[in-house]
Structures are given as C-alpha cells and as structure tokens.
A and B are shown apart, each in its own frame.
Chain A
Amino acid sequence: MRTRIRYIVPLALVALTTAACGESGSSGTGGGADTTQASGNACAPVPGDQLVVLEDDQGLQNADNLIPAVNAAAAEANPALVPALDAVSEALTLEALGNLNVAVDVERQSPEDAAAAWVEENVDTGGLEQGSGEIVVGGGNFSEPTILANIYADVLEAAGFSATVQPTGNRELYLPALQRGEIQVHPEYLATVTEFLEGDEATQVASSDVDETVAALTPLAEEAGLVFGEPSDAANQNAFAVTREFADDLGVTTLSELADACGDGSLVLGGPGECPTRPFCQPGLEDTYGLDFAGFQEFDAGGPLTKAAIQQGEVSIGLVFTTDGSVAQ
C-alpha cells in the first residue's frame, strides 16, 4: 500500500500540474525563441511529445557495461559457472540489449520469453562446459536485470545447472545476499558496482574506460567474496533527454552546447531522488559541463514519470537510460 502511494502521489501531481502547464508552456513557445532568450527564461521547460537525448560529448558517464557478479565460493565450487556467464557477455551487444528491452517494455513480451528467444538465437549453448547443482540468479526488480537474469538462468540450464530466477530489490540488499551466498549470480553494472564496493563516495575508481574499471574492480571483488565474469559490450548509462521542441528552440544537440545556451540558470532538471548527490547526475553535469540548474524535481530513475515530466513541460531536461526500451537505436 505504501509503495503504491509513493508512486501514485507524484503521478497524480504530474497529471494535475501538466493539465495547467501544457497550456502555459505551449503559449510560451508560440512567442518564439528570441523573446524567451531575452527574458532570462531561455531554458525553461518546453512541452513536446518527442524526446531527444543530448550527446555526452565530454564523456561524463562511466563504463556501466553489464557484467555477471558471482559468489566467489559458488564460482570456485562450479568451474563451469563463470564460463557459461561469459558466453552471455560475449554475445550481448548494446543493440541486442536495447532490442530485448524493447521486446519487454514496449512489445510487452514476458522477460522469460524474450530471454529464451534471444539465447536460442545468439548463444552457442552446445559448446558450454558442463556443471551441475542448483544456482539462484537474482534478477532485481527492473526489466533489464530481470531479462539478464533469465538469460543467465537459461544458459546455466543449458550448461547442466538447475537455475532459478529470484526477484531482488536494491543493491544495498542484494549484494550482501550475493556475498553471503543466498543467491549465487546477479547481473551487475561494471562502474556502478565498482564504486559501490569501493564505498568511499569521495574517491572515483571507475571511469569511462572498461579495462581500467575492470582492473579497479578485481581486487575489490576479491575482498568482498565476489567474482566477476567478462563485461559485455552493452553499457547502460545515464543519458539526458529534452523535448525536440526544446532542442530546436535552442539549437542544441550536445550537453556542452546546452551549457553554453543555458547560462541564465533557468534549466530545470528531473530525475530520481538520488540525482542531486550522484556524480553522474546533477553534480557531474555541473562540474563537467558547467551546467547551472534553477531547480531539481524528483521523479523515477529514467522511468515513465521522468519521461512524462519532460514531455509535459514539468522539467527542461531529465535522466533516461541508454538501454531504455523506448530509445530508438
């Protein structure tokens, strides 16, 4: 009940406020770009149906490639475990992951079906080293890790294991469970998990370079009782989207151009609650690009609330993900 309220209240607010904002916003754009620039209101939200992602031209985002996280004891006891997961990483491209997300989030296939079909077509399960025993794969509670967990489970089944998928929640809860061996495998994001294991928010060990980040992760994982497989080419990174109308009015296609155009501090950012404190969200945009925000509004992490808020002119720019099911590649 309480979780529902958490979602429903902001949703209702979006619905309520947009009823009013749609009017005022559209009349604002009717006035043209010239007048808005002069009024110190150049980067106020502009509603529009189509969203465009501004290019991360200075490489703010880290190498958040999908990588299998494995309990060290389980990996040691089952030598066939990590190679089977590596076979998934080898076949998984950003395009494939985007398509899988589209299949589930847009075409509404079940994660199980989408995963099974992809494994059938893309992973040579016949050549896998064989193992045995029960493996529990944690699947998060978002489509993408759930799809990945199902893919891992399918491939592990093909490799002789008896694999089940268990939904999990936040990293703060599932990673300790993985360390304790309650679950044996969980899909992870390279840079995020590296920073999580490193613990200290002040120091950055992950970067936009995959190999360097893996090198930083390896000793941290060993310390934590975890083993990581090979990273895939598919990276789920933060991206920042605006409406097409907003981008056209200002003539911007990159975040650097946005920073040049929006020096008057009228830019409103939308994203998950942790955005104002996470280095790859608001602080990163401010430090790397010199963006100056008039305010921040809390929605979800690249989900329907954030996207609706951008479209309906609640915020100028909002956080989305590169592997979003609704991102056309």
Chain B
Amino acid sequence: MELLAVDAAPNPWFDPSYVTSNWDTIMGHLGEHVRLTVGAVVLGSLLALPLAVLARRSRWLAGPVLGLSTLVYTIPSLAMFAFVAPITGLTTTTVLIGLVLYSLVVLVRNFLAGLQAVPADVREAARGMGYGSGRLFWQVELPLAVPAFMAGLRIATVSTVALVTVGVIVGHGGLGQLITGGFNANFYRAPIVTGALGCVLLALLADLLLAGAERLLTPWTRRAAT
C-alpha cells in the first residue's frame, strides 16, 4: 500500500518570489498574449470594416453578415481551436484565426452602428460641397463613426485578452499557459494567480490606452462638451 503524503510545500496565492524567479518565462507568455491580442484585434478590424460597409449598403446583406458573425461566436472556443488545429497545426496562427473570428461579432456590429449613426443631413451637406463617395467615407463618415468604432475596439480587445487563454489547447495560450500549467502542476497557486492577474491588468491597460487614443482621435467631442 502506498501512502499519499499531504504535507505539501507552502503554496500561497501570492508569491513574489515566483514572479522574480520565473520572470523570463512570464514575460515570454505575456509577450505572446500581447502579440495575439493586438494581431487579432487589428486583423479583426481590417475584416470588420469592409463587412460593415457591405452590410450598410443594403438591409438584404446586413442580415447574413451580422447573422454569420454571431453564429461563429456561438462555436465553443475549445471546439474552434480544435477544428482549426488540424489545418494550421500547433501554432499561434491557429489561435489567431479563432480570435479574429470571435472579434468580428463585436467589431462588425459596432462599426455598422457607427456608420449608420452618421446623420443623413451631414452626408447631404458633404455631397452638396462636392465630396465624392470615397472622400465622403474617409473624411466625413469614418471620423464621425470613430466613437462607436472605438467602443467596439475596446470591447473586442478586452474580450480577446480573456479568450487568448483558451489557446492552451494548442500550447499557445499566452498567460493562459501559466494558469493551466499551475492547475496541472498539483494546483500551484502562484502561476495561476500570476496568469489571471496578468490577464486582468493587461485588459485594463489595453482599455486605458484605447480610451486615450479615442480622446486624441475625437477632439471635437470635448470641444462640444465645454
């Protein structure tokens, strides 16, 4: 008969020595987490913008575009990565594809809402001043839609920071590696807390940066307020 010893080494939730002695590992995972988040939101935005423009063009197209992006969002994230993995392997690309697809539901809706919120009289006035459709879009509609765009970007970024952790199933989960690693190493609390806190701080920081960017991009909203 074997005995299971239960007198484990101290296993505190907060352990600064864990962070200092594993600094390089943590920074490696954090770097991956940031790269995946930024990559997913940037690629997601680049895809969402044309989709939103397409959806605005006709109500007939809006239904399928919004419906499809919502449908993709309902696929469980674990299943999504498992579906993509046989094609792209155990790479960050696998995680990135999943994250981009998930970001679309938020981004397309917000981009579309932003474009639809541009007042018709503003558009009329611009046309009257001789703006072509290209100039109208880039110089009038897009700037006016920035607040809604940024709101979408902020939600997508925060949710992507959280979703990256699911990438552990292909070995590229950013800080999620620390969280599952801790669970799978006899419930080692220090990495679990480090990974979880890291995610929360990263999400807060990203949200703060985007809020700052929004302020810089929309000086007129503040001028109007004062």
The interface on chain A, measured as residues whose beta carbon lies within 8 A of the other chain's beta carbons, has a size of: 53
Return B131 CB to nearest CB of chain A, in Å.
Answer: 44
Instruction: List A contacts of B5 (CB < 8 A).
Output: 326-328
Q: Give chain B residues whose Cβ lies under 8 Å from the Cβ of A173.
A: 82, 85, 90, 169-170
For B165, the chain A residues whose CB sits under 8 A away are 1, 3-4
Interface string of B166-186 (1 = CB under 8 A from A): 101111100011011101111
- Residue of B whose beta carbon sits closest to that of A243: B4
Pairwise interchain contact B180-A177, C-beta atoms closer than 8 A: no
Given that A3-B168, A108-B9, A325-B186 are known contacts, is A182 also in contact with B90, CB under 8 Å in the complex? Answer: yes
- List residues of B whose CB falls within 8 A of some A CB: 1-6, 8-9, 11, 18, 21-22, 25, 76-78, 82, 85-86, 89-91, 162-163, 165-166, 168-172, 176-177, 179-181, 183-188, 190, 196
Name A176's closest neighbour in chain B (CB-CB).
B86
Contact A168 B187 (CB under 8 A): no
Question: Would A50 and B6 be within 8 Å (CB), given that A3-B176, A105-B185, A167-B171 are in contact?
Answer: yes
B2 touching A253, Cβ below 8 Å = no
Which of A51-59, A199-207, A270-278 forms part of the interface with chain B? A51-59
Q: Evaluate contact between B188 and A177: CB separation under 8 angstroms.
A: no
CA distance in complex: A146, B97 (Å): 26
- Separation of A177 and B94 alpha carbons in the complex (Å): 13
User: Residue A241 at the B interface, CB < 8 A?
Assistant: yes
**Which of A310-329 touch B at CB < 8 Å?**
311, 320, 322, 324-329
CB distance from B167 to the nearest CB of A (A): 9
Given A4-B196, A143-B184, also A169-B168 (CB < 8 A): yes
Judging by beta carbons under 8 Å apart, are B3 and A303 in contact? no
CB distance from A249 to the nearest CB of B (A): 15
A167-B177 in contact (CB<8A): yes
Binding site for B on A (CB under 8 A): 1-4, 7, 49-55, 104-108, 110, 138-139, 141-143, 146, 166-170, 172-174, 176-177, 180, 182-183, 239, 241, 253, 300, 303-304, 307, 311, 320, 322, 324-329
Contact B180 A3 (CB under 8 A): yes
| Cα distance, A50 to B183, chains bound together (Å) | 21
A141-B168, A166-B90, A168-B90 known; A2-B3 Cβ under 8 A: no
Question: Given the interface contacts A174-B90, A324-B4, A326-B8, does A106 sit within 8 Å of B163 by beta carbon?
Answer: no
Q: A107 is contacted by which of B9, B18, B91, B166 (Cβ under 8 Å)?
A: B9
The answer to whether B22 touches A303, judged by C-beta atoms less than 8 angstroms apart, is no
Given known A-B contacts A3-B179, A167-B177, A177-B89, A143 and B4 have beta carbons under 8 A apart: no
In the A-B complex, list the 6 residue pairs whose CB atoms are closest, starting with the nearest: A304-B187, A105-B186, A1-B162, A51-B4, A167-B171, A169-B169
Interface centre among A105, A141, A241, by most chain B C-beta atoms within 10 angstroms, is A141
Cα–Cα distance between A54 and B188 once the two chains are bound (Å): 26
A300 to B187 Cα, complex, angstroms:
11
**Contact partner, A141, options B4, B11, B171, Cβ 8 Å:** B171
Decide yes or no: A3 and B166 within 8 Å by CB, A52-B2, A55-B1, A141-B181 being known contacts: yes
Nearest residue in B to A166 (C-beta to C-beta)?
B171
Chain B residues lying within 8 Å of A170, measured Cβ to Cβ, are 169
Q: Which residues of B contact A7 (CB under 8 A)?
A: 183
A166 — which chain B residues lie within 8 A by C-beta? 90, 171
Contact A168 B196 (CB under 8 A): no
Closest to B78 in A: A2
Most chain A CB inside 10 Å of its own CB: which residue of B25, B85, B196: B85
Chain B nearest CB from A301 CB (Å) reads: 9
The answer to whether A2 touches B2, judged by C-beta atoms less than 8 angstroms apart, is: no
Besides the contacts A54-B1, A106-B186, A327-B3, what 13 more A-B pairs have beta carbons closer than 8 Å? A1-B162, A1-B163, A2-B76, A3-B179, A50-B4, A55-B1, A105-B186, A167-B168, A167-B177, A303-B184, A326-B8, A327-B2, A328-B4
Contact residues in B for A239 (Cβ distance below 8 Å): 2
| Alpha-carbon distance between A180 and B89 when the two chains are bound, in angstroms | 9
